Structure 1
């Protein structure tokens, strides 16, 4: 069963004012054009890229990066990053707050998301996820061996995989305990001594005067209304991506030790008032 974090205190869904709909049309139209252009370019390049390089993707991830950077410009959101994305083999882990995390984490670093299998069927987002090389997982124990093999092949091909160990999104006012299951893949003999894990803290700042949880997307919130609310906001806030030093997997005795450590690092990277679980 998938865990979904929820809160009884959800920001009110205020009606969008007339000027807000102008922003929705303008920003939404430009963003749709940018995303569609990126998808078309990726599809056209992926064919020859697959023939020449197989699992390796030396071209198409740059398209994803530029699309995500432009998306923040279109939305009018500040994008800031601190620290250095790792260049060694391995994976990235982060706290999870919003559908905007996809853009924030792709804007500076070439990565491939690890996502629950249900996302593949989501309209629009599922198509984008498949095209950009997302790894879909099923939490069925019977799939564990196949998924482990898939993880290994992607990591050994040099892909930087990104997953959210909280297992759910929150309001960005907290960091939930990290689940250790996915970390087990890094402790196989072929990977343990080669892989690094880089913790990342994602920090959203709401527009001036808005609820501090403005960009958070959690619980039973629907994607469409949340997207419209973000597009409609005359003032926008920002997001800060904090890259912490990578941790070598073989320096930890078990997946639980590694998960607990990177959780502490991600939590310490948040503002003091957001370090609770």
Structure 2
């Protein structure tokens, strides 16, 4: 018995065809207020990538050569890169001439690397995760970054690596908060990070604040654009940041102190933390601080003054 054939499908009527959604592209161009930020971001991304790729082979050669060329070129690289991405750096105070110096700074963003790298001839101490990031790990290694995992099993080995760097006469930049934040505060410093202080000739507190946006004083809500913390992705953060008008950041270099001026490591940590926090607060409030008035006074000296 033959199988019944399927009925012929009804052709779509003009009315049923019109029921299907139709997506039409908007022929109008983007308005200038939306187009300018995109063009600005694309230009900054291109210039930053071209400058970085061009500097990599130069720094690779300088690393194998004796002298301070590698440190000076790293500073030039960061200074130009800040300009290319629209970030102007203002410096208050003088960097310690002692070698080696342990620079202690607050931490709000990956931008701190570029900013401090443009001001100081020193290598960074960074978390081990950065060593696994594409491109950035190469730039970090060319900058002679010391990577630390902060795990108890490797603390001694990593501390030895940092001491060796200081013994070679190379200064280091530490972020003793251990993490970044929203840029509107300074987190408590961990005294373990200053265990290297005795191997340095001087300890210099540094306050960093992103205080300008579009030529105007930055407000509390504006500083969040510069901050990078939590689970933010660095690529998307840079893209959003690159669309903004030019920004400004101030680096306040406080007076350096002798590592042995405080009673112990915790006293030194407390004094440096107070100085960095006070300087950063003054910068956020757009007050002109003085490095001499915000110097880190050892706690032992304070006790003597009170008695």
Q: Render the CA deviation track for 1:45-86: whole Å, top value 9, x for unaligned.
A: 223x1xxx4xxx511111111111112221232210010000
Q: Aligned partners of 2:162, 2:86: CA distance in 1, in Å?
A: 36
Q: Partner residue of 1:237?
A: 247
- Please say if residues 43 and 131 of structure 1, whose CA atoms lie closer than 8 Å, have aligned partners that are also in contact: yes
Max radius of gyration: which structure?
2
Q: Aligned partners of 1:239, 1:67: CA distance in 2, in Å?
A: 17
Unpaired runs of at least 5, structure 2: 1-32, 286-307
The alignment status of 1:195 with 2:233, answered yes or no, reads no
Q: Secondary structure at the match of 1:241?
A: strand
- Indicate which of 211, 224, 227 corresponds to 1:216: 227
- Cα 1:226–1:157, aligned 2, differ >3 Å: closer, same or farther? same
- Please say if residues 45 and 59 of structure 1, whose CA atoms lie closer than 8 Å, have aligned partners that are also in contact: yes
Q: Aligned partners of 2:57, 2:122: CA distance in 1, in Å?
A: 19
CA RMSD of aligned residues (A): 1.9
Where in structure 2 are the equivalents of 1:125-204 lying within 5 Å?
A: 125-187=136-198, 191=199, 195-204=201-210
- Please say if residues 94 and 200 of structure 1, whose CA atoms lie closer than 8 Å, have aligned partners that are also in contact: yes
Q: Partner residue of 1:69?
A: 79
Q: Render the CA deviation track for 1:71-102: whole Å, top value 9, x for unaligned.
A: 22212322100100001122101000111101
Q: Secondary structure at the match of 1:17?
A: helix
- Indicate which of 37, 44, 50 corresponds to 2:61: 44
Q: Render the CA deviation track for 1:12-61: whole Å, top value 9, x for unaligned.
A: xxxx93322211221111111111112111012223x1xxx4xxx51111
Q: Aligned partners of 1:30, 1:108: CA distance in 2, in Å?
A: 21
What is the TM-score when the length of structure 1 is the normalising length? 0.84
What is the TM-score when the length of structure 2 is the normalising length? 0.76
- Cα 1:203–1:121, aligned 2, differ >3 Å: closer, same or farther? same
The alignment status of 1:251 with 2:261, answered yes or no, reads yes
- Cα 1:274–1:80, aligned 2, differ >3 Å: closer, same or farther? closer
Choose between structure 1 and 2 for higher RCO, CA contacts under 8 A separated by at least 6 residues.
Answer: 1
- Indicate which of 103, 115, 131 corresponds to 1:120: 131
Unpaired runs of at least 5, structure 1: 1-15
- Indicate which of 85, 95, 111 corresponds to 1:85: 95
Q: Partner residue of 2:303?
A: none
Q: Aligned partners of 2:111, 2:235: CA distance in 1, in Å?
A: 13
Q: Secondary structure at the match of 1:245?
A: coil
Displacement of 1:126? 1.2
